[in-house]
Amino acid sequence: MQPSSLDELIDALRCLPGVGPKSAQRMAYHLLQRDQRGAGRLARAMGHALDVLRHCDRCNTFTEEAVCQRCASPRRDASLLCVVEMPADLAMIEQTQSYNGLYYVLMGRLSPLDGVGPRELKLDKLLARAGDGSVREVILATNFTNEGEATAHTLATLLSARGLSVSRLSRGVPVGGELEHTDIGTIAQALVERRGL
Amino acid sequence: MQPSSLDELIDALRCLPGVGPKSAQRMAYHLLQRDQRGAGRLARAMGHALDVLRHCDRCNTFTEEAVCQRCASPRRDASLLCVVEMPADLAMIEQTQSYNGLYYVLMGRLSPLDGVGPRELKLDKLLARAGDGSVREVILATNFTNEGEATAHTLATLLSARGLSVSRLSRGVPVGGELEHTDIGTIAQALVERRGL
Ligand SMILES: [Zn+2]
Ligand SMILES: [Zn+2]
Instruction: Give the other-Cβ count within 10 Å of B72's Cβ.
Output: 13
Residue A87 is nearest to which of B2, B27, B53, comparing CB atoms? B2
Q: Are B171 and B157 in contact (CB under 8 A)?
A: no
Say if residues A93 and A131 touch (Cβ distance below 8 Å).
Answer: no
Q: Please tell me the number of the ligand nearest to residue B3's CA.
A: 1
Distance B60 CA to ligand 2 centre (A): 6
Q: Is A82 on the interface with B (CB under 8 A)?
A: no
> What's the CATH number where A145 sits?
3.40.1360.10
- Does residue A115 belong to any structural domain of this protein? yes
Query: Percentage of chain B surpassing pLDDT 70?
Result: 99
As a whole-number percent, the residues of chain A with pLDDT over 90 amount to: 73
Whether B107 is covered by a domain: the verdict is yes
Quick check: A70 and B107 CB within 8 A? no
Tens-digit pLDDT profile for residues B12-28: 999 999 999 999 999 99
Domain with B81 in it? 77-168
Test the A interface: residue of B11, B34, B61, B62 with most A CBs within 10 Å: B62
Q: Which ligand is nearest to the CA of B129?
A: 2
Of B3, B45, B87, the CB nearest to A2: B87
For chain B, the maximum distance between any two Cα atoms, rounded to a whole number of angstroms, is: 75
CA atoms within 13 A on the CB side of B82: 23
Domain count, chain A: 1
Beta pairing partners, A62: A55
| CA distance from start to end of chain B | 75
Counting Cα atoms < 13 Å in the Cβ hemisphere of B130 gives 27
Whole-angstrom distance, CA of residue B197 vs CA of residue B194: 9
Q: Among all ligands shown, which has an atom nearest to the Cα of A64?
A: 1
Flag whether residue A97 sits within 8 Å of chain B, measured between CB atoms: no
For residue B55, being part of any structural domain is answered with no
Q: Nearest ligand to the C-alpha of residue A73? A: 1
pLDDT digits (tens, 9 = 90+) for B112-131: 998 999 999 999 999 999 99
**Amino acid A189: pLDDT:** 81
Query: Mean pLDDT of all residues in chain B?
Result: 92
**B171-187 in b/e burial notation, b at 16+ Cβ within 10 A?**
ebeeeeeeeeeeeeebe
Span from the CA of B23 to the centroid of ligand 1 (angstroms): 24
Give the mean pLDDT of chain A: 92
* Statement: residue B196 has pLDDT above 80: no
Q: How confident is the model at residue B197 (pLDDT cuts 50, 70, 90)?
A: low
pLDDT in tens, B22-56: 999 999 999 999 899 999 999 999 999 999 999 99
Do the Cβ atoms of A13 and B108 come within 8 Å?
no
CA distance A108 to chain B (A): 9
Q: Are B165 and B108 in contact (CB under 8 A)?
A: no
Could you give the 3-state DSSP secondary structure of residue A108?
coil
Nearest residue of B to residue A3 by CA position?
Answer: B63
Q: What per-residue confidence (pLDDT) applies to B96?
A: 84
Does residue A142 fall inside a structural domain?
yes
Whether B70 maps to a domain, the answer reads no
- Inside any domain, residue A154: yes
The total of other beta-carbon atoms located within 10 Å of residue B9's CB is 30
Tens digits of per-residue pLDDT, A82-124?
999 999 889 888 888 888 999 999 999 999 998 999 999 999 9
Q: What is the mean pLDDT of residues B147-152?
A: 93
pLDDT recorded at residue A184: 82
CB A28 within 8 A of CB A19: no
Residue A81 neighbours by CB under 8 Å, 6+ apart? A101, A102, A103, A104, A129, A130, A135, A137, A138, A139
Residues in chain A closer than 8 A to B45 (CB atoms):
5, 8-9, 11-12
B6/A53 CB distance under 8 A = yes
Closest CA to A36 of B62, B118, B85: B62
For residue B99, pLDDT over 70 is answered with yes
CA atoms within 13 A on the CB side of A123: 14
By CB neighbour count within 10 A (0-12 exposed, 13-18 middle, 19+ buried), where does A186 fall? middle
Q: Which pLDDT value is given to residue A185?
A: 84
* A113-170 pLDDT per residue, tens: 989 999 999 999 999 999 999 999 999 999 988 999 999 999 999 999 999 999 988 8
Q: Spell out where B20-164 has E strands.
A: 54-55, 62-63, 77-84, 101-105, 137-140
**Residues A36-47: what's their mean pLDDT?**
96
Task: Check residue A119 and report its DSSP letter.
Answer: T
Tell me the nearest-neighbour CA distance from A196 into chain B, angstroms: 38
Quote the strand ranges of chain B, DSSP E. Answer: 54-55, 62-63, 77-84, 101-105, 137-140, 165-168
The whole model's pTM is what?
0.77
Radius of gyration, alpha carbons of chain A: 21
Which residues in chain B touch residue A41, judged by CB atoms under 8 angstroms apart?
A: 12, 15
pLDDT range class, residue A77, cuts 50, 70, 90: very high
Ligand 1 center to A90 CA (angstroms): 11
Q: For the residues A74-80, what does the mean pLDDT come to?
A: 96
A20: in domain: no
Using 50, 70 and 90 to split pLDDT, how confident is the model at A172? confident
d(CA A128, CA A125): 5
Q: How many residues does chain A have?
A: 197
Nearest to A5 among B12, B49, B88 (CB): B49
Give the distance from residue A11's alpha carbon to the nearest chain B alpha carbon, in angstroms: 9
Q: Is the pLDDT of residue A197 over 70?
A: no
Residue A71 lies in a domain: no
Residue A10: CB atoms within 10 A of its CB come to: 22
